[in-house]
């Protein structure tokens, strides 16, 4: 078996991140987060979990959307920096 690096403690944000990553990277339906069978699996992993500890479909959707927006903003910043560098290089080289 491949040894996985696991979180050291349970957090609601940690489980939200993990479920969102599972949905996005494994091409799963967003509805999965709301399915009783899936939620029961999460509870089986941590029996002390309550309903409010587990992410809903809405939470996963919102999390993925926010991650996407953050990524786009990062790319926009990278592109802007690249454009500025190109302009400076052209000015420096006399082009």
Per residue in 15-68, pLDDT tens?
999 999 999 999 999 999 999 999 999 999 899 999 999 999 999 999 999 999
Tell which wins on pLDDT, 79 or 28.
28
Q: For residue 2, is it left (φ>0), alpha (ψ between -120 and 50) or beta?
A: beta
Q: Give the domain ranges of the chain.
A: 12-93
**Please, which pLDDT band fits residue 4 given cuts at 50, 70 and 90?**
low
pLDDT of residue 95: 57
Classify residue 37 by burial, with Cβ atoms within 10 Å: 0-12, 13-18, 19+: exposed
**pTM for this model (two decimals):** 0.73
Question: What is the maximum alpha-carbon separation in the chain?
Answer: 67
């Amino acid at each position: 078996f491949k040894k996985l690096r696991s979180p050291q403690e349970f957090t609601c944000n940690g489980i939200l991140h993990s479920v969102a990553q599972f949905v996005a990277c494994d091409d799963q339906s967003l509805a999965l987060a709301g399915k009783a069978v899936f939620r029961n699996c999460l509870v089986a992993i941590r029996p002390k979990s309550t309903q409010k500890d587990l992410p809903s479909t809405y939470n996963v959707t919102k999390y993925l959307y926010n991650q996407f927006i953050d990524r786009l903003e990062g790319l926009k910043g990278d592109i802007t920096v690249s454009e500025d560098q190109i302009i400076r290089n052209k000015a420096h080289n006399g082009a």
